Structure 1
Amino acid sequence: MLPPSLVGKTAAITGATGSIGFAIATRFAREGASVVLAGRSVQKLQNTLKQTQDTKPWQWQTTTVQQQQQQQQNHAIVELDTRKLSDWKGLVEKHEIDILVNCAGISQHSLLVRAAEADVDELIDTNLRSAIWGCKVVGKQMISRSRRATDGKGKGKGEGGCCIINVSSLLAQRAVVGSAVYSASKAGLLGLTTALSQEFGHYGVRVNAILPGYIESGMTSDLPDRDEIMAKIPLKRFGEPDEVADAAAFLAKNTYANNCILTLDGGSSAV
């Protein structure tokens, strides 16, 4: 029996030009999915698209039907400002999405009393509002497809295969000084996930979240206290983007995973 794959699925990923988003995009491509890369910078998206197109599905997918579907992989880019509801509507007009990964986000390190209003607005809009709009628009499309497939009754047991994955952060639960707004935005993603796992779950659309701890990326490479932070992690290292992608693949393929909040932090939350 072959391992489960994402052959024949279409996955839309925001923040795909970042370290974690790119790792998820390439992992899904290896699993046989068609990947839609969404973001504001067309140039960055095109560079990411080329690398995604060079990613070949794993060789264990060898059945005739799967081989035919693999040949039909159609990776694409969509210029999308995730903060704008109208842009999300444009996405679903072009693509039928089976998997949505809300991975767009920006970081922040500032005491709340010193935070500028514009910076707070940008962080909340990028990290939380964008995921709300994505879930609203893409979720509606997923629900409509499920209802059509079952004469309006919905699936209710996850058989539909559609799912949403929100990339939150360990700081949603274990905030540090200077992360108030960032932590609030990421905690909001957990509330969104839990509520929608019930709201959408009745139609077979699953909603889950990943809580990465410190991951090797541009955001963590120049941390002034990097060595001190690493010393406190039981595994004594930061995670790799590919390890987050492993978690995303699990959530995308496991049809009983709904309101699954998957912490991936090397044990940081235990200390």
Structure 2
Amino acid sequence: MIFSSYDILITGATGGIGRAVAEEFWRQGAVVHLVGRRSEILQEIAQEFGQRCHIYPVDLMQPGAPQNLLKQIQTNGSNIHILVNNSGITRDQLSLRMKEAAWSDVLNLNLKVPFELCQGVLPFMLRNKFGRIINISSIVGVMGNAGQTNYVASKAGLIGLTKALALEVAKKAVTVNAVAPGFIETDMTSHLADKEQWASKIPVGYFGSPLDVAYGVAFLADPKSRYITGQTLHINGGLLAV
């Protein structure tokens, strides 16, 4: 199995995409470290997986939480070979009406936390001369979206972070890439009132599955994907090709 000798940290593991990513890596032999705020769902996943699964019910928005999480993982005798930054929230509002908390909360969890986790896992990756960091961005980080200036800024920033960090660590066999999903069937898109209208604009004609994203993440994490870094993999059914 491809990932049988790797420990993989996945944030936002209780959501649709995070859970699918966890399942794909676990299926391919990895030891998965799953982070999320919904402890009951983490427990459910742990019971389903049985072995090779460690869960951390952590609110990463709390000061020092990313650093404390990594210390806990190391104390338990593990080091992270592959990091999947998938945590994210929305606080949608038109810019003129947006409160400071809505801006800062989204930028904190969606951009600052991934950066802090990258900082925390890189020393081991660099010493080990192997590492994979995959940041989950979004199609709106490329094309924009009205009413989501905070979310768009965070996801566009994540793409910029990916490019810059990739250049810093490339010579140590650590790759850094982003995945930008389009419309995926998750809790975050379930509230859309005009789903059929949006689906009609997608060349393939339908919303993607979380597994579609998981397969892309696993591809970038594969040891064979050593020559791919600083890139954004768009998984959107051709929407950006229109």
The separation in 2 between residues aligned to 1:41 and 1:176, in whole angstroms, is 28
1:73-92 superposed matches below 5 A: 74-84=52-62, 86-92=64-70
Q: Equivalent residue of 1:219, what SS? A: helix
Counterparts in 2 of 1:228 and 1:109: CA distance versus 1, 3 Å? farther
Report how far residue 51 of structure 1 moved: 2.5
Q: C-alpha displacement at 1:180, in angstroms?
A: 1.3
What is the aligned partner in structure 2 of residue 20 from structure 1? Answer: 17
Is this contact kept in 1: 2:11–2:84, CA < 8 A?
Answer: yes
Contact 2:7 2:82 (8 Å CA) reproduced = yes
Match of 2:230 in 1: 259
Matched to 2:111, the amino acid is: L
Q: Cα distance 1:139–1:85, how it changes in 2: closer, same or farther (>3 A)?
A: farther
Instruction: Kindly report which structure 2 residues correspond to 1:217-232, keeping only aligned pairs within 5 A, or say none.
Output: 217-232=186-201
Helix, strand or coil at the partner of 2:43: helix
Q: State how far apart, in whole Å, the 2-side matches of 1:242 and 1:140 are.
A: 30
Aligned length: 235
Give, as a single letter, the amino acid of the residue that structure 1 aligns with 2:68.
G
Cα pair 2:102 2:150 within 8 Å, conserved: no
CA RMSD of aligned residues (A): 1.6
Alpha-carbon distance in 1 for matches of 2:210, 2:13: 12
Aligned ranges 1:92-103 → 2 under 5 Å: 92-93=70-71, 94=73, 95-103=78-86
Cα distance, 1:40 vs structure 2: 3.1
Superposed CA offset, 1:39-95 (max 9, x none): 233333222222333xxxxxxxxxxxxxxxxxxx52101233323563333333323
Q: What is the identity, as a one-letter code, of the residue corresponding to 2:103?
A: V
Choose which of 14, 29, 32 in structure 2 pairs with 1:32: 29
Q: Closer, same or farther in 2 for the Cα pair 1:83/1:143, shift >3 Å?
A: farther
Identical amino acids, percent of aligned pairs: 38
Q: Secondary structure of 2:188's partner?
A: coil
Distance 2:152 2:176 in 1: 20
Q: Distance in 1 between matches of 2:29 and 2:40?
A: 25
Runs ≥4 in structure 1, deviation > 4 angstroms?
A: none
Distance in 2 (CA, whole Å) between partners of 1:220 and 1:129 is: 24
Deviates more, 1:81-90 or 1:110-119: 81-90
Distance across 2 between alignment mates of 1:228 and 1:108? 23
Structure 2 CA distance for partners of 1:202 and 1:80, relative to 1, 3 Å: farther
Output aligned runs, 1:190-229, within 5 Å: 190-229=159-198
Kindly indicate whether the alpha-carbon contact (under 8 Å) linking 2:26 and 2:52 is maintained by their aligned counterparts in 1.
no
TM normalised by structure 1 equals 0.82
Query: In structure 2, do the counterparts of structure 1 residues 27 and 238 end up closer, same or farther at CA, with 3 Å as the change threshold?
Result: same
Question: Which sections of structure 1, spanning at least 5 residues, go unmatched?
Answer: 54-72, 147-159
Amino acid paired to 1:10: D
Q: Is the CA contact (8 Å cut-off) linking 1:25 and 1:52 kept in structure 2?
A: no
Q: Distance in 2 between matches of 1:136 and 1:85?
A: 15
> For the structure 1 residues 84 and 108, does the alpha-carbon distance in structure 2 shift closer, same or farther, using more than 3 Å as the test?
closer
Matched with 1:152 is: none
Report 1:46-65 matches (<5 A). 46-53=43-50
Partner of 2:145, secondary structure, is coil
Given the alignment of the two structures, is residue 127 of structure 1 paired with residue 78 of structure 2, yes or no? no
CA pair 233-108 structure 1, distance change in 2 beyond 3 A: farther
CA distance in 2, matches of 1:140, 1:86: 18
Query: How far apart in 2 are the matches of 1:135 and 1:83?
Result: 15
SS of 1:266 mapped into structure 2:
coil
CA contact 1:82–1:130 (8 Å) conserved in 2: yes
Structure 2: gaps (5+ residues): none
3-state SS of 2:79 partner = coil
Report the Cα distance in structure 1 between the residues aligned to 2:94 and 2:221, rounded to whole angstroms: 36
Report the counterpart of residue 177 of structure 1 in structure 2: 146
